[in-house]
Structure 1
Amino acid sequence: MVEFLYTGDYGSPLHEAQETNDASVAGSTASDDDLLQHVYLNSIADYYGIKALAELSKAKLQQASENASTKAALLDAAKEALGRTGDTTLHTMLAEATAKNIRQYLDTDQLAELVGNFGIKILRNIIAAEDTMRSNITHLLFELEVERARHKGAEARSAQIVENINNCMKTLEERKECRNQSCRADFNCYIEQRGQAFEPLFVLRCAECRCRH
């Protein structure tokens, strides 16, 4: 607190000790104890109405919560914050940080102490509903991809059928007689359907000698 009044900032005593022993390690990872320190200083700022200290403590708490090494540390800080400070924005920040990893906190006694057994049941039901929704979405996305592939295949087959018929019609327009030189009949022809029913192929044949064109 005194350090903040003189410098507008405050540091961690633990980190200062680390700086003395190993400068390369100092500041690399926020200590779990820092979470409680920021809560304590926020409670002082809230009590005395020191806005600058309140904002600084929240900023430092935000960073420290992201670097907390154990899941218990964040819940310890949340418990202290609810009991010590009336800064609701700090409460919201801790709630959001907890919510990001809520699954790992569900089986801890600390979370039950914070929200009660009924709150735990509510959270479990919310997570179960979320899991079901995600599973349904995954299934629907899979079905959508299957349907897209089916539709794309149908479009390709339709295009192939149209192209095949157009080729038959073009041949019919261009040819005036059967290409079978031994066929002396008038060039009457028909279109023969071959291939599968879902992907037919069409062939132009002479009606007299059945020569393929």
Structure 2
Amino acid sequence: MISDEIRQKLQNIVRGISLEGTSDRCTTVRSILIESFGASSTVKREFESRSIIKEKQAEFLERYAQKSGIWLESLPSNTEYITRGGESMIYLAADKLNVLKVNDAIYYATWTEYFNSLILHNLLFPNTAYSLLGFIKSDGNLHAVLQQPFIEGEQAKLSDIKDLLSFNGFENTKRQDYYSKEFGLVLEDMHDENVISRQGLLFFIDTVFYIMTV
């Protein structure tokens, strides 16, 4: 069940409010994007029209990353390429305990939406929380470089995924998509490859959230 503290933070994200008392890089980047570009919900029919905003945000984030010391010329040493999963290139980190995900936010109309999704994931699924290492350019496009715990286990059963999400207020709307009426959140593509089961626990390793209301 979602705690009152997490519930308040979720509501603040949905309303486009900066989160206070939180200093991780994902939250910091979201805050500066909101301050500079404002906050908005997801309107999928406007995806193309928001591409100009996304380009401006990419330029802004590149300058910010260079100024803040989180601009990466290359990935950390001794990383090992694993696969491409959805929107990310995935690498095993040198410590073998984490994976690195290199993501260009292609599923999102703006970088603000992307960082909203990351923070929503971290609040709801802290056992697979993302941390932002920095930004890098690949093929001329800006990418975020994220670190996430490396989880080994079995693919989760769809019924178990549905039960856990339903317990937390997410209704199964179609196929593997879910919706939280309380928060106006869409959680897409929760198939068994995106959730790992280990010792009776579920680990959500790849999520895509959209805020459909403000």
Normalised-by-shorter TM-score class: under 0.3
User: TM-score w.r.t. structure 1 length?
Assistant: 0.20
Higher relative contact order (CA 8 A, sep 6+): 2
User: TM-score w.r.t. structure 2 length?
Assistant: 0.20
